[in-house]
A = this chain, B = another copy of it.
Amino acid sequence: MLLGVLLWSTWTAAAPATPSGVSRSHGLMPVPASLQFREGRLPLTAAFSLSVRGPVDRRLETALQRMLRRLEGRTGLTLSREPTEPEKATLLVEVKSPGNPLPTLGDDESYTLEVDGNRATLRAAQVVGALRGIETLLQLLQGDRDGWFLPAVALSDRPRFPWRGLLIDVSRHWLPLEVLKRNLDGMAAVKLNVLHLHLTDDQGFRVESRRFPRLHELGSDGLYFTQQQLRELIAYAADRGIRVVPEFDMPGHVTSWLVGHSELASVPGPYSIERKWGIFDPTLDPTREEVYPFLDAFLGEMAELFPDAWMHIGGDENTGNHWRVNPAIQSFMASRGLADSHALQTYFGDRVAKILQKHGKRMMGWDEILHPTLPKDAVVQTWRGPKALAESAKQGYAGILSWGYYLDHMLPAGLHYTVDPLPADGKRMAEEANRWIPVSWYHRFQFKPPETSVREKDAPRVLGGEACMWSEFADTETIDSRIWPRLAAVAERLWSPREVTDVQDMYRRLELLRVQLEEHGLLHERTREVLLRRLAGAANPGPLRVLAELVEPVKFYDRPVQFQAATQGMPLTRLVDAARPESPEARALRTSVDELLSDAPRFARNAERLTQAFSQWRELHPELSHLLERSPALHEVRPLGEGLLALAQTGQEALSSIRSGTAPRVGWREEALQRINEAARPQGQVEFAIIQPLRELVLAAVLQPEATTLSAAAWHAWVKAEALAAIPKPPEKKK
Contacts and interface: CB of A to CB of B under 8 A. Distances in A.
Given A1-B612, A6-B1, A73 B573 contact: yes
A632 B148 contact: yes
Q: Which of A77, A518, A538, A574 has the most CB of B within 10 A?
A: A538
Contacts of A571: 69, 72-73, 75-78
A724 to B, nearest CB: 33
A4 interface: yes
A2 B12 contact: no
A16 interface: yes
Interface in A244-297: none
Interface string A515-537: 10011000001110110011001
Contact of A533 (B10, B515, B636): B515
B533 A518 contact: yes
A231 to B, nearest CB: 16
B633 A143 contact: yes
B530 A526 contact: yes
A516 to B, nearest CB: 8
A9 B530 contact: no
A610 to B, nearest CB: 14
B633 A75 contact: yes
A6 B2 contact: yes
B78 A144 contact: no
Nearest to A577: B76
A540 interface: yes
Given A571-B76, A631-B143, A13 B538 contact: yes
A173 B6 CA distance: 38
Contacts of A612: 1
Contacts of A178: 178
B78 A567 contact: yes
A372 interface: no
B148 A542 contact: no
Given A4-B8, A148-B632, A534 B511 contact: no
A2 B144 CA distance: 22
A571 B73 CA distance: 5
Nearest to A77: B571
A512 interface: yes
A630 interface: yes
A530 B525 contact: yes
A541 B6 CA distance: 11
A354 interface: no
B534 A515 contact: yes
B1 A4 contact: no
A218 interface: no
A14 interface: yes
Given A5-B4, A525-B529, A612-B1, A630 B143 contact: yes
Interface in A47-78: 69, 72-78
A3 interface: yes
A534 B519 contact: yes
A337 interface: no
A145 B533 contact: no
A730 interface: no
A147 to B, nearest CB: 5
A19 interface: no
Interface in A622-675: 629-633, 635-636
B12 A78 contact: no
Interface string A672-716: 000000000000000000000000000000000000000000000
A540 B1 contact: no
Interface string A10-23: 10111110000000
Contact of A538 (B15, B518, B525, B534): B15
A630 B511 CA distance: 18
Interface in A157-197: 178
A10 B2 CA distance: 8
Contacts of A569: 72, 78, 81
Given A6-B2, A526-B526, A12 B539 contact: yes
A565 interface: yes
Contacts of A529: 525-526, 529
B538 A511 contact: yes
Interface string A69-103: 10011111110010000000000000000000000
A538 B75 CA distance: 14
Interface in A552-582: 565, 567, 569-571, 573-574
Contact of A144 (B81, B144, B512, B632): B632
Interface string A26-59: 0100000000000000000000000000000000
A76 B13 CA distance: 34
Given A10-B540, A78-B565, 15 more contacts: A1-B612, A2-B9, A15-B539, A27-B538, A74-B534, A74-B633, A75-B633, A76-B636, A77-B571, A78-B569, A78-B570, A144-B632, A515-B533, A526-B529, A526-B530
11 contacts: A12-B539, A15-B538, A72-B569, A72-B571, A73-B571, A75-B633, A76-B573, A77-B571, A78-B565, A145-B632, A529-B529
Interface of A: 1-6, 8-10, 12-16, 27, 69, 72-78, 81, 143-145, 147-148, 178, 511-512, 515, 518-519, 525-527, 529-530, 533-534, 537-540, 542, 565, 567, 569-571, 573-574, 612, 629-633, 635-636
